[in-house]
C-alpha cells in the first residue's frame, strides 16, 4: 500500500465532497476499488484521512457519508490573555529549520540529515531487540542506564590528554535530546535573569532555551577559529557572567571548528573567571576532513559541562543525549531533569546503546564522512556556478551546513520568500543571531534530501538574489 496512492485518492474524493450535499453517501469501498484501480487498503487509508479531517463520517453497516456542516458559535479564548500574562519569550512555534517540506521542493533549510545518512538497518534491529528486553517494561534510573552512562563517559575519556582525569560514568546524566539538556543546564547554572554569554552567531535552539530560562543573553562575536579570547575575557569582566555556551566543533550554523590554540585560550579564560563553559558537541559524528576534539576532554576541574547528542547521527526518532558534568553542577542538572521529565525511556536508551556499540556503527560513520564530503562539495560548486553572490567564506571541516554571506543590503526575508515561491526552502540567517545580525546570511544544509537537486536550488537562489537586488 502506497501513502502516495492513498493521498491521491483522498484528493480526488475531497474534490467530489466539495460539490456534494451534506449527508451524501460516498461510493462503497468495493466501488472505489474498481473505479480507481486501488487496493482495499489504499481506499481505507484515504477514507480514514478524510474522516480525520472532519469531511466524512462512517456509519457501521450503512456506509460513509459527507459530514453535515454545523454552524456553531466560534470559541472565545480571550480570557486566556489575562490569565497567562506576558510571555516569558517570544519564540516561533516552528522555526524555519524544523519546517516539513514537500517532496517536490529543494529543501536546503533542514536541520536533520537525510534518511540515507542514517544507520537504518542498525536502528531497526536495535529497536526490535530492545522491545524484547527488560527496558521495554521497566523504569530507567533517573540518571540513565548505567551501561549508556559508561559509554558516554568512555567516549569522552578516550580523548583526554595524559595527566587529565577522565570523566566517570557517574558524571553522566542521560537526556531526552540535547535541546532539553540546554534548558536544564541554563536553569541550573545561570541565576534567574543573570547573564549568559553566547557565541554570535550560534544555534537558534540555544537562543530559544536561554529565552525560556529567563536569562539575559550577551552575544560574543565568533569566527572560523572561534571567539577572540580577549573579547571573551572582556565580556566576562563587564557582565559578571559565569557561563559561556559554545560549539567548538562544527558549529551550527557556521561549521566553524576552534583551533587548538584558541580552545586552550578560551579554557584558560573560563578557568581564570571561575566560570563554566557549556560545550555543545551536537555534530561529534559528522567530521569530514577533521575529527571532533571535545574541549571537555582537557578539563577535569568541572569547568566544562559537556553535551553530546545521538539524535542526528543515529535517528531523530531516538532522542537520546547526555550531559557530562562534575561536582555540584551535575547534581543541579540532574535535579532539574528530575523535575522536568523524571527519566528517559529505557527502551530508547537501550536501542541507542545497541546501535553505537555495534561494529557496523564505525563502518557506517566512515561512509557518512564520505557522503557528507561529496554533498558539501557539490553544493559549494553549485553556489559558485549559479549563485556566486552567496559567498561561503569558510568551508566547514564537518557538520551539516554552509553559512553563506549575501551582498550587503540584501533583504533576507524577501529572498527566502522569493526562493520558496520557486520551490527552494532556505533558512534565514537572522535565526542564529542572539542580537542584531552582523550581515545578511542564509544557512544551507547539504545533508538534506536529493543532493542531485543542489544545482537547481543554487540556480533559483542566484536568480532570486538578482530580483531582490533590483
- CATH code at 24? 1.10.10.10
Say which residue the cell 540556480 belongs to: 459
Distance of CA 439 to CAs 20, 238, 405, 410, Å?
A: 54, 25, 7, 9
Cell of 347: 527502551
**Is 451 inside a domain boundary?**
yes
Q: Kindly state the cell numbers that stand for 268.
A: 584558560
How many CA atoms, within 13 angstroms, populate the side-chain half-sphere of residue 343? Answer: 15
Nearest to 400 by CA among 312, 269, 302, 295: 312
* 388 and 327 in a common domain: no
Grid cell at residue 364: 557506517
Q: Which of 333, 357, 381 is the last residue of a domain?
A: 357
Question: Are residues 394 and 376 in contact, defined by beta-carbon separation less than 8 angstroms?
Answer: no
Q: How far is Cα 155 from Cα 153, in angstroms, rounded to an integer?
A: 6
pLDDT of residue 1: 44
Q: Residue 219: phi, psi to the nearest 5?
A: -75, 140
Please tell me whether residues 166 and 134 are part of one structural domain: yes
Q: According to the model, what pLDDT value does residue 159 have?
A: 92
220: helix, strand or coil: strand
> For position 343, what pLDDT does the model report?
85
Question: Which residues does the chain have with pLDDT short of 50?
Answer: 1
Domain boundary among 307, 326, 357: 357
User: For residue 81, is it within any domain?
Assistant: no
Q: Strand 441-445 relative to strand 427-428: parallel, antiparallel, unpaired?
A: antiparallel
Counts of helices then strands in the chain (DSSP H, E): 16, 16
Q: Is residue 124 part of a domain?
A: yes
Enclosing domain of residue 47: 3-66
* 306 contacts 279 by C-beta, under 8 angstroms: yes
- Specify the number of domains making up the chain: 3
Report pLDDT digits (tens) over 356-365: 999 999 999 9
In the prediction, which pLDDT does 440 show?
A: 95
Query: Are 192 and 341 in a shared domain?
Result: yes
- Going by DSSP bridges, is the β-strand pair 401-405/441-445 parallel, antiparallel, or unpaired? antiparallel
DSSP category for residue 287: B
Query: Which H helix or E strand runs over 170?
Result: none
| CATH number, domain containing residue 371 | 3.90.1150.10
Neighbours of 40 (CB within 10 A): 12
Q: Does a structural domain hold residue 436?
A: yes
**Same structural domain for residues 316 and 217?**
yes
- Say which DSSP state 272 is in: H
Q: Does residue 372 fall inside a structural domain?
A: yes
Q: 295 and 154 in one domain? A: yes
Q: How far apart are CA 223 and CA 226, in angstroms?
A: 5
pLDDT digits (tens, 9 = 90+) for 42-98: 888 889 888 888 888 888 778 899 987 655 556 676 677 667 666 665 555 566 666
DSSP string, 332-345: HHHHHHHHHHSS--
HSE-up of residue 138 (Cα within 13 Å, Cβ side): 12
Quick one: cell of 37?
A: 484501480
Burial class (CB in 10 A: 0-12, 13-18, 19+), 139: exposed
Residues 209 and 304 in one domain: yes
CA triple 334-113-154, angle to 5 deg: 40
Contacts of range 80-89, beta carbons closer than 8 Å, 24 or more positions apart: 88/211, 88/212, 88/214, 89/208, 89/211, 89/212, 89/214
Amino acid at each position: 500500500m502506497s501513502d502516495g496512492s492513498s493521498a491521491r485518492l483522498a484528493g480526488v474524493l475531497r474534490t467530489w465532497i466539495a460539490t456534494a450535499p451534506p449527508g451524501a453517501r460516498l461510493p462503497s469501498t468495493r466501488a472505489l476499488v474498481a473505479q480507481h484501480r486501488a487496493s482495499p487498503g489504499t481506499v481505507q487509508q484515504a477514507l480514514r484521512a478524510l474522516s480525520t479531517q472532519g469531511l466524512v463520517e462512517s456509519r457501521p453497516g450503512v456506509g460513509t457519508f459527507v459530514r453535515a456542516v454545523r454552524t456553531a458559535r466560534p470559541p472565545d479564548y480571550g480570557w486566556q490573555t489575562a490569565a497567562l500574562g506576558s510571555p516569558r519569550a517570544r519564540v516561533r512555534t516552528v522555526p524555519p529549520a524544523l519546517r516539513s517540506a514537500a517532496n517536490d521542493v529543494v529543501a536546503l533549510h533542514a536541520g536533520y540529515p537525510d534518511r540515507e545518512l542514517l544507520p537504518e538497518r542498525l536502528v531497526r534491529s536495535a529497536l526490535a531487540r530492545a522491545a524484547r528486553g527488560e527496558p521495554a517494561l521497566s523504569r530507567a534510573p533517573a540518571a540513565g542506564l548505567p551501561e549508556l552512562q559508561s559509554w558516554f563517559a568512555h567516549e569522552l575519556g578516550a580523548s583526554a590528554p595524559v595527566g587529565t582525569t577522565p570523566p566517570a560514568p557517574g558524571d553522566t546524566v542521560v537526556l531526552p535530546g540535547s535541546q532539553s539538556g540546554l534548558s536544564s543546564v541554563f536553569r541550573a547554572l545561570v541565576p534567574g535573569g543573570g547573564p549568559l554569554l553566547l557565541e554570535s552567531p550560534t544555534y537558534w535552539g540555544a537562543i530559544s532555551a536561554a529565552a525560556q530560562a529567563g536569562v539575559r543573553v550577551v552575544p560574543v562575536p565568533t569566527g572560523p577559529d572561534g571567539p577572540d579570547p580577549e573579547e571573551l575575557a572582556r565580556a566576562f569582566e563587564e557582565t559578571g557572567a559565569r557561563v559561556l555556551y559554545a560549539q567548538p566543533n562544527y558549529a551550527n550554523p557556521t561549521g566553524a571548528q576552534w583551533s587548538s590554540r584558541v580552545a586552550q585560550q578560551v579554557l584558560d579564560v573560563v578557568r581564570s573567571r571561575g566560570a563554566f563553559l557549556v560545550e555543545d558537541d551536537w555534530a561529534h559524528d559528522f567530521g569530514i576532513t577533521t575529527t571532533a576534539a571535545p574541549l571537555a576532554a582537557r578539563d577535569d576541574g568541572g569547568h566544562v559541562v559537556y553535551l553530546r547528542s545521538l539524535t542526528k547521527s543515529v535517528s531523530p526518532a531516538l532522542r537520546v543525549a547526555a550531559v557530562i558534568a562534575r561536582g555540584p553542577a551535575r547534581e543541579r542538572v540532574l535535579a532539574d531533569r528530575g523535575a522536568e521529565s523524571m527519566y528517559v525511556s529505557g527502551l530508547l536508551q537501550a536501542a541507542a546503546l545497541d546501535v553505537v556499540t555495534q561494529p557496523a556503527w564505525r563502518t557506517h560513520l566512515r561512509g557518512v564522512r564520505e557522503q557528507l564530503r561529496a554533498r558539501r562539495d557539490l553544493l559549494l560548486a553549485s553556489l559558485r556556478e549559479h549563485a556566486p553572490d552567496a559567498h561561503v567564506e569558510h568551508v566547514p571541516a564537518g557538520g551539516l551546513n554552509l553559512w553563506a554571506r549575501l551582498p550587503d543590503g540584501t533583504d533576507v526575508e524577501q529572498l527566502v520568500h522569493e526562493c520558496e515561491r520557486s520551490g527552494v526552502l532556505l533558512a534565514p540567517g537572522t535565526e542564529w543571531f542572539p542580537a542584531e545580525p552582523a550581515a545578511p546570511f542564509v544557512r544551507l544544509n547539504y545533508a538534506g534530501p536529493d543532493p542531485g537537486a543542489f544545482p537547481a536550488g543554487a540556480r533559483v537562489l542566484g536568480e532570486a538574489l538578482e530580483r531582490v537586488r533590483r
